[in-house]
Structure 1
């Protein structure tokens, strides 16, 4: 669970990825459905021993959405959501979200029988989720992609 004190930053409970690609249509985001409610979400999961936050998030992208890609740091931000747990109980969680530039989309993946996946425009993806903080993270993605491209161009020009 999240830890807090006067001098410590609140750590995320889970890590997630926002899988994306850039096409002729613009930036597209790969969304998946949750297993129970079938609402649109992003791949996310718990920290994994031996993996960095980005590594754990990227692993969830493979397991839940069937994608591999290049994860980008720093994260896009943190959002909060309420997870349903056993017997109708709920718990509030904080998820740190990393962008994932998709390089491979698999035809078969571990959770394919449990989830649907769909490429959506940034606007469609933001409209598909109920969490305001996640909407803002999704809407910020195109600017982050532009910033990464500009950084790569500047580094290439410097060499």
Structure 2
């Protein structure tokens, strides 16, 4: 994401309150995401995946489907997008952030994302979206530098502090 794209995204977040503009839907959409750490202490790593459209680094996330709650969606998205089997940790979402989902064929959508902490149970070599995405474990500080959304950076920092304290 270029500096111009980041600036545009930030300006869009402020613009949505009064004038959503022609490309941004006014109503906020809900998504669910998963944060998976491995290792301990300062050697702790966070899993990131690439988005399908731009190849930027993100955490597994997506829409909450009918019959699911946010935790169920986080587990499903982690499997589909990253090939990991995980278990949601107790306590509900570890954080949330807001971003603008840019879509070519439809209006852009303002999304509120609840982030759930998952315990890694298994990592598979093949998964539903393995041809469309890359996955990689990064040191937490590196991961924070790679994600574009400032809100997600904050959630990662807070989650890491929580994991370190446990």
Specify the alignment match of 1:45 in structure 2.
62
1:137 to 129, 139, 155: 155
The answer to whether 1:127 aligns with 2:135 is no
Residues 2-151 of structure 1: pairs in structure 2 closer than 5 A: 13-23=30-40, 26-72=43-89, 73-87=91-105, 89-147=107-165, 149=166
Contact 1:16 1:42 in 2 (8 A): yes
Output the CA distance in 1 between the equivalents of 2:40 and 2:124.
18
Contact 1:20 1:101 in 2 (8 A): yes
CA-CA distance at 1:51 after TM superposition? 2.1
Number of matched residues?
139
TM-score (norm 2): 0.76
Output the CA distance in 2 between the equivalents of 1:143 and 1:87.
39
